Amino acid sequence: MVKRSYRKKVYNKKKRALKIIAVFGFILLGIFISGAALFVYYTKDLPRPEKFTEGLISQPTEIYDRSGKILLYEIVGKERRKIVSFDKIPEHLKKAVITAEDRNFYQHKGIDIEAVLRAIVTDLRSGKPSQGGSTISQQLIRCYFLTRNKTFKRKTREIVLTLELERRYSKDQILGWYLNIIPFGSNLYGVEAASQAFFGKDVSQISLSEAATLAALIRSPSYLWPYGQHKKELLARRDYILEGMMEQGYITKKQRDEAVSENIVFLPQTVKIKAPHFVMFVKKFLEQKYGNEYLTTAGLKVITTLDANMQNAAEKIIEEKTKNFKIYNAHNAALVAINPGTGEIEAMVGSKDWYGSSEECNKKTGKCMFDPKVNAALSLRQPGSAFKPFVYAAAFNKGFTPQTLVWDVKTEFNPSCPAKAMSIYGEYKTKCYHPKNYDGRFSGIISLKESLAQSRNVPSVKVLYLAGLDNVLDLVQKFGITTLTDRKRYGLSLVLGGGEVKLLEMVQAYSVFANNGLKPKLKFIKEIRDAENNIIEKEGSPQSDNLRVLSSNVAQEINDILSDNKARAPTFGQSSLLNIKDYDVAVKTGTTQNYKDAWTIGYTKSIVCGVWVGNNDSSPMTKPGVSLAGPIWNNFMRAILPTLPKNSFEKIEPKKTGKDVLDGIMNEKHCILYFINKENPRGNGNSRQDIQFKNWENAVLNFINNE
């Protein structure tokens, strides 16, 4: 009986034990299943670590000069980064980062348990989470794939991805990615961008002390920001890292001491853009073609056509020459230089000082005489007499010659003003149009060559009429002038600069003359490379895009006129700013009404340079074009011509047409319309029935009678 009772008790105990075990088993199973479920839930849709090899790390687009060595500007987004290969990163930087962030990096498998426990103990002692326990691999995963939110889900995903990363890739690969991705404060990411921003040098060139300083920033880039209030703490952490490197045998005590004593010099926080107006011109083009988001992430390398030496010369000369411009009420200047054979922009200065402050601003209108960020090379301005060569080229196209004779006399060009009202001394009606020469004088009979070289206004208006307004507008459009589209707006005053143009397009148009009638395609980018250094865009042969828009004979005639110092001497003198000793240079000036714009555009066969001086708000100045734009143009040309091929323009001989007035012979004193048919000057007939004939003829008679 006792035995049966005892057995029953033992059985019941076993039964209860089994139940307890079962319950605990179910609980453990539940915990396991729940944990597994949470693990699956937290780790589903994890990014693939192999994405590191797919070039998804964002990098800014870099804009360089034509050499590909001088960085002008970076198009950056939220992250400013420049990827650099692992072998270009100095060993002392690698060791400094390992010392600062993960001393067991080459020993652990992604998770450093010892470091985690050490961090926990330190945090418990200090009472706050101050000691990091994450490995370099974990930090890499966190920076690239995950957020920094401290949640169980994020930590689980981080561990899984870290282990997978370590399984797939070598330690050197992981460290290389880390050094290119880790943030250094502000929008700086990666050691190359940080080195350039802080020290102004490639990361491969930094010293041991600078390397330890970069490594010190990683732990807390915002707090230890070199330009902030905690620079001392930054340098103290640098010293701590150097001490650790010595303890681990990476450096000697002597190296440690030298690095600690080194004076770290940080660059000014604001780095100036080189050739600012030019790079903004290029940037706008790239944004329109590729989109801003792509440019800020794709890591493109854009090699432009800019010649750094020419650009520097242009900027320095403009800075120097504009210092005293205010006494002439002139506040701004711009310059463009183009290679006429290739169409490449080699220098562009859009204002006297991109970093300057606005000057002489009108409170009511908000307009300023000087606005630094406005690119005056792209602004609409009236060209004055700088437009005249196109008109004469159109006339030569039509059959007129440089020897053709016209009368430089007081002339009324509005047919509604009767010829009988004309008087050399009399006043004219309001609606009449009778332009004056700059000197207020009239020279009588003059050749077209002399007229253009001396920039005579009255004969030039006659040349425009003879050439035909539509013919002139057609020609300049072929030359690359895109702004004179509303033809109803323009009349005979167009030859005196009555239409608005851009300096850049004017310089390109003058390139047609320098290039013997061939218009070069405007170029400002030589090639574009992707982040892997593959060429994705490249300009073809420099001359392959040249288009014939003017006969070489007419181009040579214009070159001969504009380069003839003797022919322009009656106006400018033998030793003017337009004459450059020992060089065959063609040049034309321009001044608009009330001195609102001053121009000088001149060229050789190797370079075309145009200079504009004026005020952004079109306020008048007190001096003509040659006095303000001339010195800038002259100094620039003298600075760069010795570096270019020295070529002369072709010498041309006058060709006989068989018509006296076209060949420079005036047997009878009549206006040119008396002798030729203006629509076909080398053909038969005359233009005595032309609407302009009476006024032109009467002007000649008035001049002769009052000589």
> What is the distance between the alpha carbons of residues 391 and 475, in angstroms, rounded to a whole number?
9
User: Does residue 250 share a domain with residue 150?
Assistant: yes
The answer on 156 and 26 residing in a single domain is no
Q: At residue 652, does pLDDT exceed 90? A: no
pLDDT at 19: 63
Domain with 121 in it: what CATH number?
A: 1.10.3810.10
The SS3 assignment for 657 reads coil
Question: Which of 61-70, 391-400, 570-579 bottoms out in mean pLDDT, i.e. has the lowest?
Answer: 570-579
Identity of the amino acid at 295 = L
The stretch 652-667 carries a mean pLDDT of: 93
Instruction: With respect to residue 297, please indicate whether it lies within any of the assigned structural domains.
Output: no
- Check whether residue 94 and residue 218 sit in a common domain: yes
- The predicted model gives 491-507 an average pLDDT of 95
SS (H, E, C) 370-394: ECCCCCHHHCCECCHHHHHHHHHHH
Q: Given a cut of 80, is residue 456 above it in pLDDT?
A: yes
The domain of 6 spans 2-44
pLDDT band, very low/low/confident/very high, at 423 (cuts 50, 70, 90)? very low
Helix (H, G, I), strand (E, B) or coil at 583: coil
Region 407-423 average pLDDT: 77
Euclidean distance between CA atoms 528 and 525, whole angstroms: 8
pLDDT tens digits, residue range 293-331? 888 888 899 999 999 999 999 999 999 999 989 899 999
Q: Is residue 428 left, alpha or beta, with left meaning phi > 0 and alpha meaning psi from -120 to 50?
A: beta
> Which position has the token pair 């418990």?
124
pLDDT at res. 624: 66
Residue with tokens 């011509």: 641
For residues 415 and 492, state if they share a domain.
yes
pLDDT at res. 3: 53
Same domain, 164 and 253: yes
Q: What is the pLDDT of residue 263?
A: 93
pLDDT at site 32: 46
Whether the CB-CB separation of 330 and 598 falls below 8 Å is answered with yes
Residue range 19-35, pLDDT digits in tens = 666 555 555 555 444 44
* Whole-angstrom distance, CA of residue 584 vs CA of residue 564: 9
Average pLDDT over every residue of 208-226: 93
* pLDDT computed for residue 136 by the predictor: 86
Residues 29, 141: one domain? no
Q: Is the model's pLDDT at 683 over the cut of 80? A: yes
d(CA 520, CA 532): 32
User: Which pLDDT belongs to residue 687?
Assistant: 96
Residue with the larger pLDDT of the pair 707 and 661:
661
**What is the model's pLDDT at position 557?**
97
Residue 35's CB is within 10 A of a number of other CB atoms, namely 10
Distance (Å, rounded) from C-alpha 473 to C-alpha 400?
18
Question: Distance between CA atoms of 539 and 41, rounded to whole angstroms?
Answer: 53
Could you tell me which residues are beta bridge partners of residue 370? 359
Q: Is the pLDDT of residue 191 over 80?
A: yes
Specify whether 404 is located in the same domain as 450.
Answer: yes
Based on the fold, state whether residues 133 and 256 are members of the same structural domain: yes
Q: 238 and 101 share a domain? A: yes
Has residue 450 been placed in a domain? yes
Q: What is the pLDDT of residues 263-284, one digit of tens each?
A: 999 988 777 899 999 999 999 9
pLDDT at 56: 53
Single-letter amino acid, residue 484: L
Q: Which of 242, 261, 280 is the last residue of a domain?
A: 261
| Residue 14 and residue 160 in one domain | no
Q: Is the pLDDT of residue 187 over 60?
A: yes
- In a 3-state reduction of DSSP, which class is residue 629? helix
Task: With beta carbons less than 8 A apart as the criterion, state whether 557 and 614 touch.
Answer: no
Q: How many domains does the chain have?
A: 3
Residue 517 in contact with residue 554, Cβ under 8 Å?
yes
Separation in Å, CA 643 to CA 507, 580, 646: 20, 15, 9
CB atoms < 10 A from the CB of 520, how many?
Answer: 24
The dihedral sign for the CA sequence 437, 439, 443, 448? negative
The model's pTM is 0.81
The residue type of 624 is: P
Same domain (yes/no): 33, 102: no
Question: What is the C-alpha to C-alpha distance for residues 612 and 493, in angstroms, rounded to an integer?
Answer: 20
pLDDT of residue 33: 47
Average pLDDT, the chain: 87
pLDDT tens-digit readout, 35-47:
444 444 444 444 4
pLDDT at position 422 is 46
pLDDT of 146 strictly over 80:
no
In the prediction, which pLDDT does 14 show? 64
pLDDT for the residue 142: 77
Same domain, 119 and 17: no
Q: Is the pLDDT of residue 72 over 70?
A: yes
- In the numeric block, which tokens belong to residue 485? 């589209």
Q: Is residue 143 part of a domain?
A: yes
Q: Report DSSP letters for 144-185, one per residue.
A: HTS-----HHHHHHHHHHHHHHHHHS-HHHHHHHHHHH-B-S
User: Rounded CA gap, 43 and 276, in Å?
Assistant: 48
Confidence category of residue 155, pLDDT binned at 50, 70, 90: low
Per-residue pLDDT tens over the stretch 233-258: 999 999 999 999 999 999 999 999 99
Higher pLDDT, 517 or 125: 517
The number of C-alpha atoms within 13 Å of 136 and in the hemisphere containing its C-beta is: 31
pLDDT, one tens digit per residue, over 332-387 is: 999 999 999 999 999 999 999 999 999 888 888 888 999 999 999 999 999 999 99
Q: Say if 602 falls within a structural domain.
A: no
How many other CB atoms are found less than 10 A from the CB of residue 378? 18
More confident residue, 443 or 59: 443
- pLDDT, residue 154, reads 52
